[in-house]
A = this chain, B = another copy of it.
Amino acid sequence: MNVVIVGLGNIGGSFAKSIRHSFKDYNIYAIDINVDTLREAEKLDIINKGYTDFKEIIPEADLVIFSVYPMTLKNMVESYAPYFKPNAILTDVTGVKESIIAEIEPLLHSKIDFVFGHPMAGRESRGLGFSSRDIFQNANYIITPTKKNKHENIMFLENFVKKLGFGNVSKVTPEFHDEVIGFTSQLAHVIAVSLINSDDIERNSKRYTGDSYRDLTRITNINEKLWPELFLMNKNHLLRHITLFKDEIERMEDAIRTNDIQKMERMMVESKRRYHDLHDLEYNPED
């Protein structure tokens, strides 16, 4: 089995390390524009060989994992298209699906199967140096099957990522993926950036922070070349989630303004119930 990872950043590097660990007999190759990164990965023995010219290795690939920016992905697949091996399986890690799939599927020969996926794992620091098998352990994975995908290839990807350590692997429509990710991921990033940017105290707030603030702002070391793209590709869902979130903020704001303790308590009891559900804990209102 020849696996080619395109883009050896944080996620691509974590794939290389995980595959090396879980599939001893696979050959792992990588394509990247950065030669130093490729040499480093070869030295770490997490890839067999690295390439800057995709034509040298793509024709050998049984599985291609595109771990690149969404805007890059389409052009890349377009250039690679004539070189894919018949019956190759392609997959990606992109955080938005519907528009990407609509652009990419028409580019592909019917013998090539692109099974789109999204590992719900990442780090606030970029690059191969911060990649790690650990970030995949028990993380969620989403596969968004389309009518073109062969059942056996969807199953292959599902079993493959489970073996890498992912926990729940969900199969949902691209539309649903974008709706839910607009909430759990993109809205979270909008909020974190807005929170840290709304600090007008400028008197060394960091001396006065607890874990809450550090947790809520952990993702603010954000990749400014990636996230605006993702936001715009999922504009409608994201704008709807922002509106619903603002409605909730305003309910709380009203309760504070009108000294409505009962209303605040009800909102907090509801948030506790949801916290317990999120973490599969039993909720006992007396706790």
Contacts and interface: CB of A to CB of B under 8 A. Distances in A.
B220 A272 contact: yes
A179 interface: yes
A242 B247 CA distance: 13
Interface in A190-210: 190-201, 203, 205-210
8 contacts: A139-B210, A184-B208, A209-B278, A215-B215, A220-B272, A224-B265, A227-B268, A242-B249
A73 to B, nearest CB: 17
A274 B212 contact: no
Q: Helix, strand, loop or mixed for chain A's interface?
A: helix
Given A200-B244, A259-B232, A185 B213 contact: yes
Contact of A272 (B222, B238, B257): B222
Interface string A209-251: 1111111111111111101110110010011011011111101
Contacts of A201: 179-180, 183
Contact of A215 (B168, B198, B218): B218
Contacts of A245: 194-195, 198, 249
Contact of A252 (B139, B194, B275): B194
Given A142-B208, A170-B207, A235-B256, 8 more contacts: A140-B207, A180-B205, A194-B252, A212-B219, A215-B215, A231-B264, A239-B253, A246-B246
Interface stretch (A82-90, A120-128, A145-153): A120-128
B248 A210 contact: no
A17 interface: no
Contact of A198 (B192, B221, B247): B247
Given A201-B180, A261-B228, A278 B194 contact: no
A81 interface: no
Contacts of A241: 198
B212 A189 contact: yes
B252 A190 contact: yes
A126 B285 CA distance: 13
A277 interface: yes
A252 B166 CA distance: 32
A248 B227 CA distance: 17
Interface in A252-287: 252-253, 255-257, 259, 261, 264-265, 267-272, 274-278, 280, 287
